[in-house]
Chain A
Amino acid sequence: MILQIKNLFKWENSGGNRVFLLNDIDFTVNEGEFISIMGPSGSGKTTLLNVIGMLDGFNEGEYTFFHKEYIGFVFQSYHLIDELTVYENIETPLLYKKHRSSERKALVADMLDRFNIVGKKDLFPAQLSGGQQQLVGIARALITSPKLILADEPTGNLNSKQSDEIMTLFKQLNDEGVTIIQVTHSEKNAAYGSRIINLLDGRIVSN
């Protein structure tokens, strides 16, 4: 088991009414799973993902994550730092973890090699296509060898060919043992995963 959520609630007060963003969420994730969170717009998918990633808090309930340091994020709009090159973007998480310079070089080189973007390492994000930017985003998420990858509609801004490539990559990573939770609208993308959690109005309707 990698994480466990028990009776989790998150709400906002709007005009005297309590609006539930997450309502009695209850599930566990085991190591090696590939979970897709699905549901219509506003059903709480991203909120749930943010809570899992500890980017956002909650009001009530219990949440246990067993390997706190090891989460990698992948965003729909990539969220690369515009002022940094491909190489530097991938390297940044290592800087925060205070890896030694030689070690950083080896890890980044390895990652560039793995995603076939060695030739692009000195380019800035604006000089890349969407698919390439998302590759860099994934490389950056993977560089610290996370146990869990959280991906918020990772292919939302990509065309179908690029989407397939990214999803194949996720499948491959999952096969290598990385646990993945993705938020998606697409049945096709969800099919890459091993389990689907359906949300509606902040509630799990099927698991």
Chain B
Amino acid sequence: MDVMPKPEILDPQGQAVAGALHRLGVAGVRDVRQGKHFELDVDDAVDDETLQRIAGSLLANPVIEDWQVTRT
């Protein structure tokens, strides 16, 4: 599960990373947004709806974050 700050939420951590890249002399990086990545080891019986509930009720705060669930 990837959890990212919503586009409209200021991300000062991402900005600090972007600033550091700029100081390293890396050109062409317009913006950096910092988020979280969770890896869950779940039984096959755990359905998508449950995974969405896990993300929306604990792993992400829907007020400030978006999330994406990917099964691999």
**A and B from one assembly?**
no
Chain B residues packing against A (C-beta within 8 Å): none
